[in-house]
Amino acid sequence: MKITFTQASPSLKGSAVIVFARSKAKLSESAAALDKQSGGAIKRAMSSARFEGDSGQILQLLAPSGVDANRIVVLGLGKPGELARTDFTDIGGSITAKLISSGEKSAVVLFDDIKGLKVDPADAMAEIGAGLRLRSYRFDKYRTREPASKKPSLVKAVIKTSAATMAKKLYAEADKLIDGVFCARDLVSEPANVIYPESYAAEIQKLSKDGLKIEILDEKAMKKLGMNALLAVGMGSSRESRLAIMRWDGAAKGKQEKPIAFVGKGVTFDTGGISLKPAVGMEQMKWDMGGSATVVGLMKALAGRKARVNAIGIVGLVENMPSGNAQRPGDVVTSMSGQTIEVLNTDAEGRLVLADALWYCQDRFKPEFMIDLATLTGAMMVSLGQEYAGFFTTSDKLATQIFEAGNLTGDKTWRMPLHKNYDKQINTPTADVKNMGGKYAGAITAAQFLKRFVNDVPWAHIDIAGMAWSDTGSAIAEKGATGYGVRLLDRFVRDNCEQS
C-alpha cells in the first residue's frame, strides 16, 4: 500500500474519506465540515447508531449528496489526552481492516490538530500510516480460487495533516521497518515443505542485496566447530541443518568497538522428534522458527533504514523429525561449549539449538550483549497468554530498555525471574545439565538452561511462543503470522544503540 502525506486539501472524489470524533460525539473540524456539506447526514447517522466517539468506535455511511466521496468513515478517538503512540498505529490498522476488501481503491484521512493530544502530531500521523500498511499484509499466495470480491482493493492512502513534512520523514523509516515485519511474516507463514533449513538459508542469502553480509555454515562446518547440540536436533530429518550469520556494519569506522547481537531459534518444523507431539495442532509447528524470523526481519529492517549500528544476527536452522536416525530420550550430547547435555525429551529441542548458537555468537563476535528470541515453551503461553512475551535477562539495563521499547511499539514484554534455585530442576547426575526441568516453571528452567551458554556476556532471552502467531488477529495484523519482535527490537536499537 502506498502512503502519502499532505498539508493541502486532497481530492475526495472516488475515495473513502476518514474523519474523527471525540468523546460525547464531538466532531473534528473536517468531520463537521462534511456534516454541513451533507445537510447533517453524519450527525443523524451518529444518533441512529448511538455513536458517541468512544475510542475504537467506527461508523460508516455511504457518502450522502453534497459530499464528493464514495463513503465516509468516522472513527472514535475517545479522550485525546489518553491516546498513546500505539493507539495511532491501531487507528491506521482499523482503517485498513474496514476498507481493505470494500472495493475502495483509495482512502483519504483528514486529521485535524487536536487540543490536549500528548503524542507529537508528526509521530501520530506516521503511526497511522504505519498501521495502514501493517494491516494491509495478507499471505494469500496459495489462494488460487479466491473470489474477486474478497481480494484486497485498497492500494493507497493520503493523510492530510499540518505535520505532513515531518510525518513523511518519519514514515519513510517506518516503511523500511515494515518491510522487515513483512519479511518475518512471510517466513513464518510459509509451510514447512517450502521453508526448511536449506531453503531458509537460501532466502537469507538473498538479503545480501539489502547490504547485509551473509555467511551460511553447513553441517560439516558445524560439526568441525563442535555444535553437536544443534546438530542432534536435526539428526532425524532428511533435511540438513544450517547456521546463518547476518552482519550489518552501519556504524562509522572506529565508533563502535563491539557489535550488538541477536540470535534466533529456527526449527522449521517441530514434530517433537521421538517424543512425538499430539497430532491435533501439529500443523501449527511450521511457525516454531518464529524467533529466527524475527531476527531475519530485524536485520533486513536495520539494513533497509541504514541504521547507524554494527549488528550481528545468527539463526540456527533445523527440522525436528522422528526416524531411525533421530536422537533418543536419554542421549547425551556434547555442546560447542564443552558442556554435556542429557536429552530427556526430544521435544525440548529449541534450547539445544540456541545453546550452540549463543555460544558460537559470544565466542566469535565478542558482542556488547546478546538477545535471543524463540518460540520456546508452552509454559510461557500458560503464564502470559498471547498478550505479552516473557523475557529473562542477566542485565537490569537491558530489562528496562526492552520493556520500554515494548511499550512504545505495542510488542509488549514482561520480565520473568532468573534464580539459581531453579538450577536444581535441570541438574542431573548423568551430565552437566539436562534439557528439561520437570512439571513446574517450564519457561524459567528453559531460560536457566540457556544462561549456561552465554558466558559473561550481558544477555536477554525473549520467549515469543504466544506472540509469533495469532489465531484471532489484531488491529495491525489479520489472523496468522504477526512479525512480533521486529518493531520491538528496532525501537530498542534506535533508542539505545545507534550513534547520534
Residue 254, C-beta contacts closer than 8 angstroms, at least 6 positions apart: none
Q: Of 89, 102, 55, which is closest to residue 74 (Cα–Cα)? A: 55
From the candidates 351, 451, 452, 487, give the one annotated as an active-site residue. 351
Among residues 269, 302, 76, 85, the alpha carbon closest in space to that of 187 is found at 269
351 included as an active-site residue: yes
The active-site residue, picked from 277, 308, 412, 415, is: 277
462 within 8 A of 391, measured Cβ to Cβ: yes
Please spell the DSSP secondary structure of 35-63, one letter per residue. HHHTTSHHHHHHHHTT----TT-EEEEEP
Compute the distance between CA of residue 355 and CA of residue 346 in angstroms, rounded to an integer.
Answer: 15
Helices (H), 249-368: 290-304, 350-365
The backbone region for 56, taken as left when phi is positive above 0, alpha when psi lies in -120 to 50, beta otherwise, is left
The cell numbers describing 145, all together, are 480460487
| DSSP string for 362-425 | HHHH--S-EEEEE---HHHHHHHTTT-EEEEES-HHHHHHHHHHHHHHS--EEE----GGGGGG
> In the annotation, is 156 catalytic?
no
Residue 342, C-alpha cell as written in the block = 542429557
List residues with catalytic annotation.
277, 351
